[in-house]
Structure 1
């Protein structure tokens, strides 16, 4: 193929001869949505839904202004600036087919790390109707055991003393909402798109806790005026690799410094509670419901927990990707047994959902050989994920006398993973976790105290005090430390 065409607004006409491009005007005046946390998932999900709506000819559709609040966001800021905030979404099908499309729904990107004013001003602008979030579980700044706001965070302490110099999402939101209130403007909706059960409720609880400490009058206004719809989001979005960039350039003729890859599956269930209007997302398949709770729980306890089951066990065994895990019959059977025997019994009936079909689809999605989602990505930030995805299932099954044998091995594997930092073949593991040091120290201490790892109450609650769980867990952990193969231990519960 000829020299790849650099992705930018001026080149869309030429790029359109190779792959689909935006057909709509990217008018930056009609902004509407400010989004904090412009990672791969946001670009494969909310931004894609809005792109679809605009492609359909909906002239009322809004645009997105991306916001970066971490130093790590500077790389995307630089790339977006060169590419006029355009990027390519590469949908990877199980057959090997790749469908790329240029997405144009993000029209600007602002960094709040060095100068917060442009970000605050954009949020406070009357054209901003929604502030959406993908800040990961850890970004909500709550204690995973108590569910309460963490005021010990040094950044939070700084913001309480200096409300005009925000650092975290809470500082920026309160600064912008204060300006809107003072100017007599309506509040924007705060819409969480993170994998947290009752994510809107959690965003509301955390923001109000912060605002009540910083400015009680403002907190009272937020409590009445700001809507926080809960939502359930779903689309597997692996980390972009150099090979993805090369494939796009060589096979499709487009030079994009940071394309996004994803699976074909796409789902978004949202409560229709917006304080200042919203796009007509229902036109492109978004499901609006009165209560998203059952759908959230289903996704977190099946898909997200299932990912962690495969990820941690697969990491210890040495499988590099999730699809490699599913291609291994023992791993596939183990996951299905966990889903059937431990996760499903606590879900109950979910309107409009056939759980057997849903679980079948999960196995198919995880097996997609064209996605190759790394186990290291799935295992990253497990301290923020497992207290929401997996550990509640253990607690609920302990309370009802249900099975815990499959999930208990995953917790033992997590301890081993955190301690040894190598798989059972001695190969080093890439461990990414905000509290990695704390996890490593607690796991190391199990040599003297077998329960040390699960005695971290902020993660596990009172699991260490449950004799049934503690006995099973310590036995499995001992076998791991004695060199038992993870496959041997997996065969036990089956």
Structure 2
């Protein structure tokens, strides 16, 4: 765009005026819960890539903050996606989001799920946002879950109207209420597609949703078990937070005044396993893979990419690094990542192209133009360490090996906690209590995995790492 030409506010009407191209909003066929940068760089991007007939509009509900609705709604859901490689930027106008809604608007969620034309519900609410125990049951020690269970019982059993009951605040509480609206409307089957980094995420969320529903209204739980498909997924695309500089760069590159662009890497991966009883977009045309069993791909991604991210985040913060690219450029950190991967790949199928995947990961981590901040990766450490690191440690110990490489990210997190480094975690009360124990290191390790904390060899391996991180 010439320097003298002002950027134009991005809307569907402006797009038609400026380019002569009609950009009508597609009908809502997909509901997304937990709108953030990753969902826009992933599910929304895939849908835009393949929706040639403009048939699959997404109604996107915000997560903990409604701020994104204030940014995207005035743009009619349109936004610019920037694929940032080491060689330059490539932009795509993503058009698949046609409605942006405050997540607290459960009434609108109910309306959309009661419509037979709504076929898919995708979710990105973070691992901790599901508020489930490790076995997939609702965490009844969580006051928000307890409050939602009480509200659901009152509303679904006719003791209170929705308007008179306390507002539902958890993602699954809101989903259960909307699924009851679908059941009452006899709107047919639907697919729920969780896209957060949890092993067996489809089955995991299914257990939680059905348990929550049965606890409020048994017949709803039974209906969900028969009419709602839960699809397991493995998702992969590094997507850092958007900065003011990114907003300015998009205006220069495209001529659009876009208040909410998304910057991501060129690499993307989406593996899915499960049924879509009401249909879906042809996401495979944009590279998505549909497989009988997603579990090996989940483990590869969780243990190699996400595990390395956690290691780099906690050791990197201790060493004064700011981004993933900074941390992987540290020879010691890079060697720690390679050792972690050496342990992990012993427990992955050889036909997953593990050497190529490792080489590609290093290249992705080294892309300094993607400023993936360690502080963005660090929150919710307990939930992440439990699924990214602890399974490899258990597998290595079961094989009779020390699992010393997996001890490094856990020890680094413990060191940060004991140094009172501010880390956001939904389980902060448990972390604070463990920090005050007679043996805080053992108590904190037990929060990650009680079995590993009871293993004298592994406990000593974690202790041995701490001085090296000082």
**Quick one: distance in 2 between partners of 1:149 and 1:437?**
18
| 2:399 alignment counterpart | 400
Q: Does residue 129 of the first structure (1) align with residue 119 of the second (2)?
A: yes
Asked if the contact 1:61–1:280 (Cα under 8 Å) also holds between the matched residues in 2, the reply is no
> Post-superposition shift, 1:76?
0.8
| 2:159 alignment counterpart | none
- Residues 307/227 of structure 1: CA separation in 2 closer, same or farther (3 Å cut): same
**Quick one: distance in 2 between partners of 1:449 and 1:323?**
32
Asked if the contact 2:16–2:23 (Cα under 8 Å) also holds between the matched residues in 1, the reply is no
The structure 2 residue matched to 1:11, chosen from 11, 14, 32, is 14
Asked if the contact 1:271–1:289 (Cα under 8 Å) also holds between the matched residues in 2, the reply is yes
Q: How does 1:24-63 map to 2 (within 5 A)?
A: 25-28=23-26, 30-54=27-51, 58-59=52-53, 61-63=55-57
> Post-superposition shift, 1:157?
2.3
SS class of match (1:108)? strand
> Post-superposition shift, 1:251?
4.4
Q: Does residue 370 of the first structure (1) align with residue 369 of the second (2)?
A: yes
Give the gaps of 5 or more residues in structure 2.
156-166
**Quick one: distance in 1 between partners of 2:286 and 2:461?**
47
| 1:233 alignment counterpart | 235
SS class of match (1:247)? helix
| 1:94 alignment counterpart | 86
> Post-superposition shift, 1:360?
0.6
> Post-superposition shift, 1:14?
6.7
SS class of match (1:89)? strand
| 1:348 alignment counterpart | 349
Provide the alpha-carbon RMSD of the alignment. Answer: 2.0
Asked if the contact 1:88–1:260 (Cα under 8 Å) also holds between the matched residues in 2, the reply is yes
TM-score by length of 1: 0.87
SS class of match (1:371)? coil
SS class of match (1:227)? strand
**Quick one: distance in 1 between partners of 2:239 and 2:126?**
14
| 1:491 alignment counterpart | none
- Residues 248/451 of structure 1: CA separation in 2 closer, same or farther (3 Å cut): same
**Quick one: distance in 2 between partners of 1:397 and 1:4?**
56
Q: How does 1:56-455 map to 2 (within 5 A)?
A: 58-59=52-53, 61-70=55-64, 72=65, 74-95=66-87, 97-113=88-104, 115-144=105-134, 146-163=135-152, 164=155, 165-340=167-342, 342-350=343-351, 353-422=352-421, 431-443=423-435, 445=437, 449-455=440-446
**Quick one: distance in 1 between partners of 2:409 and 2:181?**
47
> Post-superposition shift, 1:286?
1.1
SS class of match (1:92)? strand
Asked if the contact 2:80–2:91 (Cα under 8 Å) also holds between the matched residues in 1, the reply is yes
Asked if the contact 2:270–2:288 (Cα under 8 Å) also holds between the matched residues in 1, the reply is yes
Asked if the contact 2:312–2:333 (Cα under 8 Å) also holds between the matched residues in 1, the reply is yes
**Quick one: distance in 2 between partners of 1:409 and 1:282?**
38
Choose 40-49 or 215-224, whichever is displaced more.
215-224
**Quick one: distance in 1 between partners of 2:383 and 2:256?**
37
**Quick one: distance in 2 between partners of 1:187 and 1:247?**
43
For residues 231-279 of structure 1, the C-alpha deviation after alignment (integer angstroms, 9 at most, x for no partner) is 1111000111122112222444322212111000011111141121111
> Post-superposition shift, 1:445?
4.1
Choose 378-387 or 33-42, whichever is displaced more.
378-387
**Quick one: distance in 2 between partners of 1:395 and 1:250?**
51
> Post-superposition shift, 1:178?
1.9
Asked if the contact 1:69–1:167 (Cα under 8 Å) also holds between the matched residues in 2, the reply is no
SS class of match (2:93)? strand
Asked if the contact 1:136–1:195 (Cα under 8 Å) also holds between the matched residues in 2, the reply is yes
**Residue correspondences, number:** 454
**Quick one: distance in 2 between partners of 1:391 and 1:202?**
18
**Quick one: distance in 1 between partners of 2:469 and 2:376?**
23
> Post-superposition shift, 1:124?
1.6
SS class of match (2:346)? helix
| 1:490 alignment counterpart | none
SS class of match (1:175)? helix
> Post-superposition shift, 1:191?
0.8
**Quick one: distance in 2 between partners of 1:383 and 1:128?**
35
**Quick one: distance in 2 between partners of 1:431 and 1:112?**
25
- Residues 7/122 of structure 1: CA separation in 2 closer, same or farther (3 Å cut): same
**Quick one: distance in 2 between partners of 1:117 and 1:80?**
20
| 2:454 alignment counterpart | 465
